[in-house]
Amino acid sequence: MKIHIVELKYIKSEDEITRVRPAHREFLDIGYKNKLFLASGPKEDKTGGIILAVGDINEVKELLKNDPFHKEEVAEYSFKSFDAVKSASEIASLL
């Protein structure tokens, strides 16, 4: 199974991030509902966030075009994918 690591890097002020964050978190529910997202959250250093996603990477990228962080241009995205040849049973049961 392919797992995609989506890294968000904040490019605007903390005030802008704080303003857009509620809409971003609401948007994330769409990815979970569509079973594309496994986990998400802010990085410990608060410079951005991480989304773990599955499925077709193009579908993930297309969905993220509607993310308020993208639309409001407060974050940049980078993508890394890997073949998860082994995983915890909890992750496998989500797929």
Domain of residue 39, CATH code:
3.30.70.1060
Residue 92 belongs to some domain of the structure: no
50/52 Cα distance (integer angstroms): 7
User: Do the bridges between strand 48-54 and strand 75-83 make them parallel or antiparallel, or are there none, so unpaired?
Assistant: unpaired
Domain ranges, residue 15 = 2-86
- What does the block give as tokens for 12? 């605007």
Residue 81 belongs to some domain of the structure: yes
pLDDT tens for each residue of 6-49 = 999 999 999 999 999 999 999 999 999 999 999 999 999 999 99
pTM of the model: 0.93
Residue 94 belongs to some domain of the structure: no
